[in-house]
Amino acid sequence: MKATPQQQAQKTPGIFSLLRPYSGLIGLLILFALISNGLNLWLPRLIGQGIDAFEHNSFSFPNMIVSFVSVAFVIFVFSLLQGVVQTYASEKVARDLRTRIAERISVQNFTFIENTTPAKLLTNLTSDVDSIKLFVSQAIVSIVSSLFIIIGASVLLLSINWKLGLMIIAIIPIIGGAFYLVLRRVKVLFKRSREVIDWLNKVINESILGAALIRVINSQFLEYEKFFKASQESRDIGLTILRLFAWLIPIIVFTANIAGLSILVLGGHFVVKGSMSIGEFAAFNSYLALLIFPILVIGFMSNVIAQATASYNRIVLVLEAKDPAATGVVDQSLEGAVEVKDLSLRFGQKYALKDINFKVEPGARVAIIGPTAAGKTQLLYLLTGLTIPESGQVLYDHRPISAYQPEAFYKQIGFVFQDSILFNLSIRENIAFSDTVTDESLEKAIRTAELSEFVNSLPNGLDTKVSERGLSLSGGQKQRIMLARALALDPKILLLDDFTARVDLQTEARILNNISRSYPGMTTISVTQKIAAVQHYSQLILLMQGEVLAKGTHQELMESSPEYVQIFNSQQSTSNYEL
């Protein structure tokens, strides 16, 4: 695994460790940058020499033009190469990093995704990677070549005239100090501004996802005001940052001008005294122009590095997330027996589920009923191993879930979720989502879920695309597609989470009938609100506030559980119509 080099590095590896696999590319990049920038330093020298040669009457047009043009052309070639390598290197680093993050995410369990939140992972994969991309494409080259130019120019300045050179080099700490002071204050503001952007994004996201509600309640203006507040805050922070930078730039320009002035006065003095040639004097001016820009670049790039480091630290959290517990090896097919032993689950101090116990025989049909927020869905998640219980066990054929190899296990479990989850794929791809689905099992699942007629009514049939949030389908159609997706696995055990909530009665009755006919011997555990549909099941489990209040057959519960009777009565008036 790729994890090993990181483990050697022990603590959070710095952002530069990220570049190790690309050392060849980065080395090439730095080489090209140094060549093109180094040659750039040469040009002022050529100019100075040209002027001096002219002063000494040894000037030759062809010589100068040839040397100048060849240097300029070599610079062109190398800066072109530098640009190409820079683009490739940064995009490659970004792509590989994204792949690594996505691979890490893909092996994580459901709890990890929920706790880290999809929104944060999205940020990791997009803007965090982008800031690292910026670091690779700009910071590395800029800093290396800037340092090179600063040192190179300084050496050349000193070699021409060390006294004047020292005076000019004195501007470096002045500009650097100004930068340091401003950036130190701006950094806090940058952090605050990121927070405000997150705030803005939250308002935008909610206003788009909740568009229907907002239009029903006519709260567009309220949302606008929410947005406006965040937007205003963002503008104000921007203006504060600006005010700081508004000081920085004039200070730098002024310092540079003063340096130019000292060249004029002091350099002029040297020229008058004859200790400096006029060509050297001109070169001094050119080098000054060269010197300013790299100092600015280093200042700005230090900020890019700081941001990239912060991003990288966030990414490392994902990359170094613990592996989910080692998976089991059992891959034999299930009989379909399920046992829940002393199962508890807690959110904070509050128990969502407490000491749940029940047994399901292979092929049996069991229903879980109970009021809203009783913990029914949580129980199903525990049954499928999507979440891990705080204590207790779920046994399949007398073995805990963890003993099974996940692929072999999930292949045999069909789960119909309560919320409609469809991918932006064709209906066929949505139903045959697992890759073990054959044409035959697909066909059977569609028939059982009573989807054939609907599918046939579509011009493109099964190949019709489902739009992203499933907007073009009715609630019942979505639920039936979800059911077909679970059935297409030909599962040994079917878990249903209130799947008929949005399906009409007649269809529901037919579907339930179809299931027991087409999938005999399948263990079914069904969370439902409607007793009538599950009255004849071999076991009904009444769940309330996270605890099993009663379990048994319909008859038994009618005799022993007043709560069950109450629920039954609440549906009684019309239940004679329900089947």
Partner 1 sequence: MNYELKNADRSAEKVSTWAGLKGLLKLVEQERKTLLLALCAILVNAFLNLIGPLLIGYTIDHYIMQKNFKGVPLYAGILLGLYMIAFIASYFQTKLMGGVGQRIIFELRNSIFGKIQQLPLAFFNANKAGDLISRVNNDTDKLSQFFSQSLMQFVGTIVMMIGSGIFLLVIHPELGLATLVPALFILIFTKAISPWVKYRNKRNLESTGAMSGEIQESLNNFKVIIAFNRRDYFREKFEQANTDNYKTAIRSGLANMLFMPVFGLFSSIAQLVVLAFGIYLIMQGNFSVGLLVSYLAYATNFYNPLRQLAALWTSLQVALAGWERITQILALQNNLLTLSAGTAENNGHSPVLEFRNVHFGYPGGYEILHHINFSLEAGKTYALVGPTGGGKTTTAAMMARLYDPLEGEVLLDGKDIRTYTDEERTAKIGYILQDPFLFSGTVKENMLYHNNLYAGFTDEQFKVVLEEAKLEGLLTTFDQGLETPVTSSGDSLSIGQKQLIAFMRAVLRKPKILILDEATANIDTITEQLLGQILDNLAKDTTQVIIAHRLNTIENADEIFFINSGEVVRAGSFSEAVSRLMEGKRSS
Within 217-246, the residues that bind partner 1 by CB under 8 A are 217-224, 227-228, 231-232, 234-235, 238-239, 242-243, 245-246
Does position 468 interact with partner 1 (CB under 8 A)? The reply is yes
For residue 61, state whether it binds partner 1 (rule: CB under 8 A): yes
| Tokens linked to 430 | 């949505």
Q: Which of residues 546-575 bind partner 1 (CB under 8 A)?
A: 566-567, 570-571, 573-575
Among 357, 436, 456, 560, contact with partner 1 (rule: CB under 8 A): 436
Q: What distance in Å separates the CA atoms of residue 534 and residue 437, rounded to the nearest whole number?
A: 28
When the beta carbons of 12 and 327 are compared against partner 1, the nearer one is 327
Tell me: does residue 60 bind partner 1 (CB under 8 A): no
Q: Which strands form 391-396's sheet, in the order they lie side by side?
A: 350-360, 338-347, 391-396, 399-400
Taking the CB of residue 385, how many other CB atoms lie within 10 A of it? 20
Supply angle C-alpha 498, 503, 504, rounded to 5: 130
Q: Checking DSSP bridges between strand 391-396 and strand 399-400, what pairing results, if any?
A: antiparallel
Buried b (16+ CB within 10 A) or exposed e, 286-298: bbbebbbebbbbb
Q: Under the criterion CB under 8 A, does residue 508 sit at the interface with partner 1?
A: yes
**Of the two residues 70 and 391, which places its CB atom closer to partner 1 in the complex?**
70
Provide, rounded to whole angstroms, the least separation between the CB of residue 10 and partner 1.
29
Q: Which of 41, 174, 189, 214 lies at the binding interface for partner 1 (CB under 8 A)?
A: 214
Element (H, E) at 345: strand 338-347
Quick check: 90 binds partner 1 (CB under 8 A)? yes
Kindly indicate which of the ranges 19-27, 161-169, 202-210, 393-401 contains the residues binding partner 1, using the contact rule CB under 8 A.
Answer: 202-210
In angstroms, what is the minimal distance from the CB of 290 to partner 1?
10
Least distance to partner 1, CB of residue 194, Å: 12
Contacts of partner 1 in 136-165 (CB under 8 A): 137
**H or E stretch including 352?**
strand 350-360
278 CB contacts (<8 Å, ≥6 apart)? 51, 52, 55, 271
With H, G, I as helix, E, B as strand and everything else as coil, classify residue 420. coil
Q: Does 91 bind partner 1 (CB under 8 A)?
A: yes
Is residue 301 within 8 A of residue 167, CB to CB? The reply is: no
Least distance to partner 1, CB of residue 328, Å: 15
The reply to whether 364 sits near partner 1 by the rule CB under 8 A is: no
Asked if 79 touches partner 1 (CB under 8 A), the answer is yes
The verdict on 477 binding partner 1 (CB under 8 A) reads yes
Q: Considering beta carbons, is residue 79 or 448 the nearer one to partner 1?
A: 79
Size, binding site for partner 1 by CB under 8 A: 172
Q: Please give the residues from 516 up to 535 whose contact with partner 1 meets the rule CB under 8 A.
A: 529-530
Per-residue contact flags (x/-) with partner 1 for residues 274 to 293, judged by CB under 8 A: x---x--xx--xx--x----
DSSP 9-70: T-SPPPGGGGGGGGHHHHHHHHHHHHHHHHHHHHHHHHHHHHHHHHHTT---HHHHHHHHHH
Of the pair 9, 347, the CB lying nearest partner 1 is at 347
Choice between 12 and 67, CB closer to partner 1: 67
- Judge whether 490 and 441 are in contact, CB under 8 Å: yes
How many angstroms separate the CA atoms of 46 and 71, rounded?
10
Structure tokens at 374: 């009783």
Give the nearest distance from C-beta 508 to partner 1 in angstroms: 8
**Which one of residues 3, 9, 113, 170 is an interface residue with partner 1 (CB under 8 A)?**
113
Which two structure tokens, joined as six digits, stand for 452?
Answer: 């054939």
Shortest spacing between CB 98 and partner 1, in angstroms: 5
The distance of closest approach from Cβ of residue 548 to partner 1 in the complex, given in angstroms and rounded to an integer, is 16
* 102 scored as a contact of partner 1 (CB under 8 A): yes
Closer residue to partner 1, CB minimum distance, 8 or 506? 506
- Choosing from 20, 27, 63, 73, the residue that interacts with partner 1 (CB under 8 A) is 73
DSSP track, 145-186: HHHHHHHHHHHHHHHH-HHHHHHHHTHHHHHHHHHHHHHHHH
Q: Does residue 418 belong to the site contacting partner 1 (CB under 8 A)? A: yes
Q: Does 180 bind partner 1 (CB under 8 A)?
A: no
Q: How many C-beta atoms lie closer than 10 Å to residue 158's C-beta?
A: 15
Q: What are phi and psi of 43, to 5 degrees?
A: -60, -50
Neighbouring CB atoms inside 10 A of 83's CB total 16
Residues 290-349 that bind partner 1 (CB under 8 A): none
Pick from 431, 467, 465: nearest CA to 449 = 431
Q: Is 421 in the site for partner 1 (CB under 8 A)?
A: yes
